[in-house]
Amino acid sequence: MPPHATTDLGYIPPDGGWGWVVVCGAFVSIGFSYSLPRSITVFFKEIQTVFDTSFSEIAWISSIMLAFMYGGGLISSTLVNRYGSRPVVITGGLLCGIGMISASFCTNIVQLYICIGVFAGLGLSFNLQPSLIIIGKYFFNRRPMAIGLSMAGSPVLLCTFALFNQFLFDLFGWRGSFLILGGILLNCCVAGALFRPIQPVIDSSKKKISKYIQEEAQEVSKKFDCLQATSLMTANENEKKENCCDKLNKYLDFSLLKHRGFLIYLVGNVILFFGFFVPIVFLIPYGKHLGFDEYSSAFLLSALAIADMIARPTTGLIANIKWMRPRVQYFLSFSIIFNGFCHLMCPFALSYIGVVIYSTVFGLAFGMVCALLFEALMDIVGAQRFGSAVGIVTLSECFPLLFGPPVGGIIVDTFSDYKYMFYKCGAVMLTAGIFLFIMNYYSYRMIEKEAGQQQKEAARKETKGLMATDDGYGLGRSGSGSIQSTKIQLESLARVSP
């Protein structure tokens, strides 16, 4: 069984206290990050009619938004490592609000791409990654449960926004709805204000030692001012020679690209995200295509969100079980395969009850995957390197997210039917789940094999050391004259040395 990553933060996370307030703030910020790209699909049919666009063109709004939300993770993680989570999340809330308010004044589809896709998407990126990073700093033993509870914000807000957006649309149209949503998204700034930087507890003995070290350092610095000045000049010269990659490597750990487990996770996620969000983007249009009314179609998204709401914290609790935690990678693989199976069964549900059942089961599978994605990553790399890992992973995921929904729209435009789009998503997710299961099994076998080789090597060196000690002891007993001569040599060396 694989050894999971231990805490390497330099302190023991409190696993509670103010951390639960941080979870509440993450509940809001993560909830907005995941629910907004899915809930605005309520307005797509009207926008498609107003701007006379195809399914693939309207799908670019969600795909660009998701691509920037995930692709901006590299920028977000770098800023978090430099400034902390609180200012980054507050900035993200401002970007989301500005983007949605600006979208209410757009006059063509390209302007919507920029306002909603770029500005709001980047703002959501500044909400998502910092929230997950700071939870890893406050929790370790209860981390799966904390992540599961914070990730539950997505289905709760999605369940609310699915019908609320339809209500806003009936009263104010899509322009007025975007204006109101922009004001609501400013609450992300309030959530970010709750992300207080953690203060590690230091023992009084350690404080005394650090105080003594500081006093000694001050005395040494007074004696070696000239030496310090020379060192500063040398350091300045070295800083000039330092290139951009070296500076970036201070905030992002690119050595992760040599980590076997991380690379397996990265490849599996890239495959997964080609079909992960596509069914959600087309769920409401699919309901309208089958002849359901607006509120019945919007309820499909609410049914998905309610099941998602139950699945995320439940999955977090299951992943926190002592027996399950070392096997969280296999749990993730099973969840992805379950997700793909749901999409393959969707075209067989033609009645409204059947589609509601599909949405509910899909919500359970979707919530399981979302609750485990970041826990599995933190299990591989540890909390200290999690910020860099999230940045690299989300940057890689932005490409399948960018092209996944438009490809799905092209399939719908080509065949004038949604079933082939669901078949494609199901096949992609089955491929990703099977790949992760097989490669994780291979990786764990290699870890066990390498650990066995290291133990054998250590035992071999220990045996050689014992043999050398025995040989030396035997020679000492047989040759007392050589021992006497060695003593004389040591005494002469002691007289010469100062």
Q: Render pLDDT for 338-397 as a digit per residue (tens, 0 to 9).
A: 999 999 998 888 889 999 999 999 999 988 898 888 788 888 887 677 777 877 887 788
Cβ atoms < 10 Å from Cβ of 123: 30
Residue 485 covered by a domain: no
Give the model's pLDDT for residue 492: 52
Q: How confident is the model at residue 97, as a pLDDT?
A: 92
Q: Concatenated DSSP letters for 149-171? A: HHHTHHHHHHHHHHHHHHHHHHH
Pull the structure tokens for residue 133.
Answer: 């990073």
In a domain, 45, yes or no: yes
Give CA–CA dist 257/263, Å, rounded: 6
pLDDT at position 199 is 67
* Within-domain flag for 206: no
Q: Measure the CA dihedral 73/76/80/82, to 10°.
A: 120
Yes or no: say if 33 and 69 are a contact pair by the CB < 8 Å rule.
Answer: yes
Q: Which residues of the chain have pLDDT under 70?
A: 1-11, 199-254, 383, 466, 468-498
- Say how many domains are in the chain: 1
Is 247 within a domain? no
pTM given for the model? 0.66
Structure tokens at 327: 């096997």
C-alpha pair distances (Å), 223 with each of 216, 217, 219, 220, 226 = 11, 10, 7, 5, 8
The domain containing residue 44 runs over which residues?
19-197+262-450
C-alpha 344, offset from chain centre: 27
CATH code at position 433: 1.20.1250.20
Please indicate, yes or no, if residue 239 is contained in any of the structural domains.
no
The burial class, CB within 10 Å (0-12 / 13-18 / 19+), for 181 is buried
Q: Read off the DSSP letter of residue 6.
A: P
Residues 187 and 14: their CA atoms lie apart, in Å, by: 27
Task: From residue 211, give the alpha-carbon distance in Å to each of 199, 202, 204, 215, 284.
Answer: 18, 12, 10, 6, 63
Residue 160 domain flag: yes
In a domain, residue 486? The reply is no
Contact 397, 233 (CB under 8 A): no
Residues 6+ apart with CB under 8 A from 463: none
8 A C-beta contact, residue 135 and residue 12: no
Q: Residue 1: count other Cβ atoms within 10 Å of its Cβ.
A: 9
Inside any domain, residue 461 = no
Nearest of 25, 300, 24, 311 to residue 159 by alpha carbon: 300
Residue 252 pLDDT: 62
